[in-house]
Amino acid sequence: MIDSHAHLTDKRLRSDLDGVLLRAAEAEVQVIVTVGVGPADNRAVAKLVDQVPVVVGSVGVHPHDAKVVTEDVLAQMVALAAHPRIVAIGETGLDFYRDLSPRDRQEMAFVQQIHLARELSLPLIVHSRDAHERTLAILEREGGGELRGVMHCFSGDMAVAERVLALGMHIGIAGPVTYPKSGKLRQVATHVPLERLLVETDCPYLAPQRYRGKRNEPAYVMYVAEEIARLRGLSFDEVARTTAANAAELFGIDGV
């Protein structure tokens, strides 16, 4: 399996990293994509990918912190992205639920990171919360028909999923697919072509139902794969293998 979206640099995971990595290995998670959320975090991600062989990384500025994006921050991302184990740009996108940065700043930082991903030929990791219409409109306008990437921790319906697929992007399914009230998300997880699905934890957030409210970690990505297998009437192995191959191809990860 590949956990396609984790935040291993978060102090809740970082403080227990040996245990977290051991349990991930026991759960047959071969690769963890650890995702940067801001300038200081991006540096921590770049350091971690050098220290831990099973970890690859992404550099970006989360919409919560969009107001910190300057030319210098973007230049730092370009420099860090030259590292062969930095495999994506993000997470970026729009969050109109918490609105921690002004919306015009969120949109500007999102467009800048889309352009960066295109210039560097790297996939884009997109966050969209209560902002699907604007997120899709910007991706459609700025993508130039050559975007690759993932709408991570997908929270839309089938209509949103269809537009993400039409952009050529993947859909990342996280722990909420196991929550009782996630009917719409289960529909998406059932009907999207399997070769366009990724599994992820978004840890330390969004633990699956059985650990809900506790700290999430990459080993628990198996509960996401297990739920997708149950929904689609497939074996766990097929979902684990196919989603890992999808992520390996998207992020250009060898040897999986």
First to last CA, the chain: 9
Q: What interhelical angle do 39-51 and 71-81 show, nearest 10?
A: 10
Q: Which of 218, 254 has the CB closer to Ni ion?
A: 218
| Residues numbered 201-230 forming contacts with Ni ion, rule: CB under 5 A | 202
Q: Which of 112, 216 has the CB closer to Ni ion?
A: 216
CB 95 within 8 A of CB 131: yes
| Residues numbered 27-86 forming contacts with Ni ion, rule: CB under 5 A | none
Q: Which of 65, 202 has the CB closer to Ni ion?
A: 202
CB of 248 to Ni ion, least distance (A): 20
Q: Give the SS3 label for residue 128.
A: strand
Comparing every residue's Cβ against Ni ion, the nearest one is 202
CB of 202 to Ni ion, least distance (A): 5
CB of 203 to Ni ion, least distance (A): 9
Q: Which of 107, 202 has the CB closer to Ni ion?
A: 202
CA 206 to centroid of chain Cα atoms: 13
CB of 7 to Ni ion, least distance (A): 6
Look at the alpha carbons of 68, 58, 92, 20 in this order and tell me if their dihedral is positive or negative: negative
Q: Which of 41, 202 has the CB closer to Ni ion?
A: 202
Alpha-helix residue ranges (DSSP H) falling in 167-211: 183-191
Q: Which two tokens stand for residue 203?
A: 């840890």
**Number of residues forming the site for Ni ion (CB under 5 A):** 1
CB 41 within 8 A of CB 9: yes
| Residues numbered 185-204 forming contacts with Ni ion, rule: CB under 5 A | 202
CB of 91 to Ni ion, least distance (A): 5
Q: Give the SS3 label for residue 169.
A: coil
List residues binding Ni ion (CB under 5 A). Answer: 202
